[in-house]
Structures are given as structure tokens and as C-alpha cells.
Structure 1
Amino acid sequence: MSNKVIYAIYNDDDILMDAVKTTRAANHHIEEVFTPFPVHGLDKALGLAPTRLAICSFLYGCVGLSFGTWMMYYIMIQDWPQDIGGKPSFSYLENMPAFVPIMFELTVFFAAHLMVITFYMRSKLWPFKQAENPDVRTTDDHFLMEVAVRDNEEELISFFQNTGAIEVKVIDKH
């Protein structure tokens, strides 16, 4: 079975947005859209679910805050208590105001670094991975919409030419 797709190429983001809305209204399945820069509102036009990365970021920040709190308690209270600037190290609560900058920095550190790792894993962006963009112009100034073909090739070609596509290609993906 051959998997044919249509590549509709556009040269303006506003025309692309109108084409995405028209394509979804006509009940054609959009596989992917490739753009050289983020297009505001494209995720909503495509009907994509909201991302859960913010939840991950919050949880990673909580891990960083917990690690920072534990680390400071262990180092400064249990393992090696020191009298720094006349402040005795009898309890964590007495010294907590001095530890706030460290807690903040570790919260940001953990959230930022673990978010980068999560993003790369979720996007499957591994080191030395080959690019998957179907047309090199999508990294410069063109927009590409990939739509699945289901025995309606001629109809789709004329449909996308009417949406303002500057080029329409039928590709057989293996």
C-alpha cells in the first residue's frame, strides 16, 4: 500500500492560516505543518491539544526546591555546622532567610535544565539526528502543509491551488 501525501507550499503565514482553517473545515487530515518561524494561532487552527510542559516545569521546580532545601539542611545544619557572621547553626528555620537565594537558584536551575531535556526527548531531537523537514525552503521563507491523500488526489490538488498554494506536490512516502 502506498502512502501518498500532498505538500502544499505557501509563501505567506496569513495565507497558510486561512488554508489550514479551510482544509480542516473540508475535513481533510493535516499530517504536519512546517514553518520557518512560530506562527501565532497555528496550534489552535490545527486543533492541537494544549501542552503539558508547564506542569512538568512546575514539578521540576519543586524537585529543585526540595533538593536545595535538603542540601542546605544537610550541609549547613547536620554535616558541618559553622558559625558564619555570628549566626549559629542550631536549626534550619533560624537560618532559612540566608538560604532563600540558594533555594531560588536551584529551583530555576532544575526547572530549566530538566525542561530542556524533556523537550528534546519529547521532540525526539537526539544528537546527530538527521533533519526531517521535507523541503529546505521551510527553514528560510516558505510554509508547507502535509495532507494525507485517500483516493482523492486530483480533488486535493485543485483544492490546495484554490487556497493560495504557490506549489502543490504529490509525494509517495515509504
Structure 2
Amino acid sequence: MAAKTIHAIYTDDDVLLEAVKRTRAAKYHIKEVFTPFPVHGLDAAIGLAPTRIAIAAFIYGCIGLVVAIWMMNYMMIVDWPQNIGGKPSFSFTQNMPAFIPIMFELTVFFSGHLMVVTFYLRSRLWPYKKAENPDLRTTDDHFLMEVEFDGDERELRELLLDTGAVEVNINQK
């Protein structure tokens, strides 16, 4: 692992995107990029793997559907069957059209809520967590690229300044 990091600050997202591409082409490891808003194409430029949140959402939706089916079958068929409007509740399939909205709602409910929980756990965002932002200007209008390196920083500093960085700071770990 690198002993030092360098912070390059940019004021334009297009310049940052090109700087990330040039820095990766020069074989430097970009540890993190801090932006005030999502930058389209930045995750691919950094080399991040595609997210699997869609797979998790599908699984959570399936769990919600199973819970809805089990819940309605137990409540309306097994536990307390009722004759509502002259329609007897002796089987789940006879009452399926009336259950479709509930199945849909619980599928969406489980998928949405469990995805939020998964996001917070995966991102390690829990209550009272201290912010890990190295420069407060990145929450307003600046962009920061954090690059790890071993060796001489002059070459990397010149590369980053050449890519359009307005400020370059070297940090010892």
C-alpha cells in the first residue's frame, strides 16, 4: 500500500473526468474521487465494477411477494375466512384478483426499504458516523481526486497540474 496520497482539486467536472482518464493511463492508482454531484461516466473512468443492487432489489422484491402471499393466505383463508359480499374465501386462487394490489405493494415496499438498508450497510453509513470528506469544498463546488503513490511526487504533481488541477496537496499517512 502506498505511503502517501496526493489531493488534486478541480473546478470543472469535465476537466476532472479527463484528468481521471489521463491519471489512470499513466498507471497511477486513484483511491477516491469526491464530487458535489454525480458525474456521468466517472465510475467507468475510475474502473469501478458495476453495482449488483439490481440483483438485490429483485431478491428483496421476491421476498416481499412471498411474504404478501403467505400473509394473505394465512389471514384471509386459514385463520379467519370471511364471506365478503357473497364471495366465500375458501381458496387463495378464488380470491387472487383481490390480492394483486397487496402483493404489488408489499413487493415494492420490501424492495425499496431493504435496498436502503443494504445501501447504508454497504456504504458503512450509520448514525453518528464522522464524515470522511478530506476537503469541505467538495460539498459545494469543487472536485477532489485522491491518488496513492510511492516514490517521487514531482512527476505526479506535474501530471495533475497539466490535467487542469487548480490545487495539488501532498498528504502523509
Give TM-score scaled by structure 2 length.
0.98
Take 1:6 and 1:109, find their aligned partners in 2: how far apart are those partners?
A: 43
Structure 1 residue matching 2:146: 3-state secondary structure: strand
CA distance in 1, matches of 2:87, 2:99: 13
Q: Aligned partners of 1:79, 1:62: CA distance in 2, in Å?
A: 24
Q: Which range moves more in the overlay, 151-160 or 117-126? A: 151-160
> Deviations for 1:120-167, whole angstroms, at most 9, x for unmatched residues?
000000101000010000000000000012112111111101000000
2-side partners of 1:152 and 1:58: how far apart? 48
How far 1:87 moved relative to its partner? Answer: 1.2
Structure 2 gaps, min length 5? none
- The Cα offsets for residues 7-60 of structure 1, whole Å up to 9 and x where unpaired, read as 000000000000000001111110000000000000111111100010000000
Question: What is the distance in 1 between the residues matched to 2:59 and 2:40?
Answer: 27
How many angstroms does 1:4 deviate by? 1.1
**Map 1:63-82 → 2, pairs under 5 A:** 63-82=63-82
In structure 2, what is the equivalent of residue 121 of structure 1? 121
Q: Please say if residues 63 and 107 of structure 1, whose CA atoms lie closer than 8 Å, have aligned partners that are also in contact.
A: yes
Q: Distance in 2 between matches of 1:2 and 1:37?
A: 28
Partner of 2:97: 97
| SS of residue paired to 1:16 | helix
Matched with 1:19 is 19
Residue deviations 1:58-87 (CA, integer Å, cap 9, x gap):
000000000000000000000000011221
Code of the aligned partner of 1:122: R
AA paired with 1:58? F
Taking every aligned residue pair, what percent have the same amino acid on both sides? 68
The structure-2 alpha-carbon separation of the partners of 1:2 and 1:145, relative to structure 1 and needing over 3 Å to count, comes to closer
Name the structure 2 match of 1:87: 87
Runs of 4+ with deviation above 6 angstroms: none
Paired residue for 1:37? 37
Gapped regions of structure 1 (runs ≥ 5): none
* Alpha-carbon contact 2:2-2:149 (below 8 Å) kept: no
Equivalent residue number for residue 56 of structure 2: 56
**Contact 2:8 2:144 (8 Å CA) reproduced:** yes
Q: d(CA) in 2 for partners of 1:111 and 1:85?
A: 33
> For 1:140 and 1:71, how far apart are their aligned partners in 2?
47
Tell me how far 1:3 sits from its aligned partner: 2.3
- In structure 2, how many angstroms separate the alpha carbons of the residues matched to 1:2 and 1:69? 53
Equivalence for 2:47:
47
Q: Aligned-pair RMSD on alpha carbons?
A: 1.1
Alignment of 1:124-163 (within 5 A): 124-163=124-163
